[in-house]
Structure 1
């Protein structure tokens, strides 16, 4: 009887560790400029936050600037946001064992170059 209880407890403990170890989370948010407009087609890349900085996943923002990166293991990552005409944004993201985490709004600065006026003589 005691062996059955011990075996059952061991099996439950191993299965619980297996389930917790294989939990995945989704990361979502929205990329906006400082006027509050969503920026579509921004490239988002998730890298491991260690010496190697290995690319884990990548995606693009939707027409309203929203994004979702699915099936990430809990841990610490480096998020890189690249958008043509805007500055590159890099931030560290820590994912918990929740099913879905929302970063909220990621604001990025425009990378605007102003040129002096040109006079054309004809």
Structure 2
């Protein structure tokens, strides 16, 4: 059985060309011009999944890097650090790996709910 693909549900409005008070593109909008259009990338992933019969599940990424994948506590004090220790259970995390684990779990939960609703 092929495994589902879990991806962040990206708010594409954050990639809009935001202009500042002088009607100039903001630095963020300027740098976003050099990225692959997020909607095209998401579309390509979904199309490939559909073609291959692999479910693609979008999940809300809110707090996935700040939520301990061991105990579920949310570290609201976390700044921009890439590595952190959970204040509740002392588990050590790489922020990106931790977020990936939490995104995968959210996708599993969403898939289970979908399966339960189709029975």
TM-score for the superposition, normalised by structure 2:
0.26
TM-score for the superposition, normalised by structure 1:
0.25
The structure richer in strand per residue is 1
The structure richer in helix per residue is 2
